[in-house]
Amino acid sequence: MPRKKIVFIIVEGPSDQEALGAVLSNLYPSDQIYLHIVHGDITTARNITADKIVAEIGKMVKQYAAQNHFKKSDFKEIVHITDTDGAFISAENVVELLERDADEKVIYTTTEIQAENVKSIRKRNEQKSSNLNKLLGCSQIWDIPYHVFYMSCNLDHVLHNKLGSTDEEKEQDAYVFAKKYHRATKDFCDFMIHSDFSVVENYDYRSSWNYIKEELHSLERHSNFGLYLQENEETSDKLL
């Protein structure tokens, strides 16, 4: 029997992994595909600039391959799911935190980012948007097909329509979401493809990214991950 191919999925946080892991595993034939999920926002990691981002993701995949005695031909694809965090908004929409006694150091709304350290968030946005632009021009990493998809402003906003969730709320919501869709693959695909936040209909991969870069869209509730579900040949029969 041929060795299973690996779909290497990058998400940003542990709650993202919990929410999506089980349902994404169900998208693929278990005898053909092995799903590996890692988490961490590499686009905002310290000292990771646009000239380093592709190599850094390649390093992540190669380390996993070396640890498990895989070679590049064992991988089917790399799927990168990222929050946009308002990275493409104008600097003028990053403003000083209004509630100085608030516990939060950063507050996201659909029109602005309020930050205790405005300069730091503007710098982060420059780094993240620059890295994402670089990744958009990359179709392969280590000769493995690569695509990046967004959950803006973050995964909790897309999946649960919530902004500013605590870590505890993220964990609980991820558990509820995973439980709801664990055995309901078609419902999950329909949710991601046909919801009002879905940047899918009348869009392709490139134009969906052009959309999220415009105006305040990277703060709003949008996702183009439905394009992956719609176009991925492994899921086509599950959408019937």
Q: Which tens digits make up the pLDDT trace of 120-150?
A: 999 999 999 999 999 999 999 999 999 999 9
What whole-number distance in Å separates Cα of residue 215 and Cα of residue 77? 31
Between 233 and 122, the more confident residue is 122
Least confident of 120-129, 132-141, 208-217, 227-236: 227-236
- 169 pLDDT higher than 70: yes
Q: Residue 200's closest CA among 166, 218, 235, 224?
A: 224
Give the pLDDT mean for 190-194.
95
In a domain, 96, yes or no: no
Q: Is the pLDDT of residue 217 over 80?
A: yes
Judge whether residue 30 has pLDDT over 80: no
Give the Cα separation of 171 and 49 in Å (integer).
Answer: 30
pLDDT at residue 234 greater than cutoff 70: no
Q: In angstroms, rounded to a whole number, what is the distance separating the alpha carbons of residues 153 and 158?
A: 8
In a domain, 132, yes or no: yes
Q: What is the pLDDT of residue 101?
A: 56
Domain membership of residue 140 (yes or no) is yes
Structural domain containing residue 64: 5-86+122-238
Note whether residue 221 is domain-resident: yes
Is the confidence at residue 214, as pLDDT, over 70? Answer: yes
Give 3-state DSSP helix, strand, coil % of the chain, rounded to 5. 45, 20, 35
Give the pLDDT score at 240.
47
**Total of domains in the chain:** 1
User: Tokens in use for 28?
Assistant: 């693929």
Please tell me the distance from the alpha carbon of residue 153 to that of residue 147, in angstroms, as a whole number: 19
Question: For the whole prediction, is pTM greater than 0.75?
Answer: yes
In a domain, 102, yes or no: no
